[in-house]
């Protein structure tokens, strides 16, 4: 991070949407978002374990309480931080705002709490614009992260 680089202002969520950090979202709500984004659902016990092992998570809820966006973070608290499960409801009318808010909030919190860590993530194509706008360098110097999907 360059200390004198100006950052775009914090994105605003439209009325009726709010950024939330607690409590743990339900497995059903998280699976709904994964499936809408084209991923496979996970067992409730697995969700419980990954949420407990994450250092924090963020979600965006509508005023009716429905979860429309989510991201969680793991870290070794020294060198590396990882953003996981960045997803949102692709049919939600505020999709771009939800993704921008999640990306901005997650990156800002990582800069504040774990400023020395490198950050990796896997993100849907819809999130790339928000990631780049808020300072994330996609594949810096051609370096790409590798991932393994366990089946």
N residues, the chain:
151
The domains of the chain are located at 17-133
Query: Among residues 20, 104, 121, 105, which one has the least CA distance to residue 63?
Result: 20
Q: pLDDT-based confidence at 139, cuts 50/70/90?
A: confident
The answer to whether 19 and 70 are in contact (CB under 8 A) is no
Q: What is the pLDDT of residues 76-112, one digit of tens each?
A: 999 999 999 999 999 999 999 999 999 999 999 998 9
CATH superfamily of 17-133: Gcn5-related N-acetyltransferase (GNAT) (3.40.630.30)
Going 39 to 13 to 26 to 120, the CA torsion angle's sign is: positive
The reported pTM is 0.86
The answer to whether 46 and 87 are in contact (CB under 8 A) is no
Q: pLDDT-based confidence at 134, cuts 50/70/90?
A: confident
Q: Is the bond into 23 cis (omega within 30 degrees of 0)? A: yes
Strand, helix or coil for residue 9: coil
């Amino acid at each position: 991070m360059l200390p004198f680089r100006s950052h775009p202002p914090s994105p605003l969520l439209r009325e009726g949407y709010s950024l939330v950090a607690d409590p743990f979202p339900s497995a059903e709500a998280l699976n709904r978002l994964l499936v809408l984004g084209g991923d496979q659902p996970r067992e409730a016990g697995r969700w419980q374990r990954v949420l407990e092992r994450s250092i924090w998570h963020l979600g965006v809820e509508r005023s009716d309480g429905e979860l429309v966006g989510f991201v969680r973070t793991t870290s070794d608290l020294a060198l590396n931080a990882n953003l996981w499960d960045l997803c949102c409801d692709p049919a939600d009318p505020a999709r771009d705002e939800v993704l921008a808010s999640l990306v901005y909030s997650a990156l800002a919190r990582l800069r504040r709490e774990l400023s020395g860590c490198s950050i990796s993530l896997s993100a849907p194509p819809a999130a790339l614009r928000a990631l780049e706008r808020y300072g994330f360098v996609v594949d810096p110097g051609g370096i790409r992260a590798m991932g393994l999907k366990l089946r």
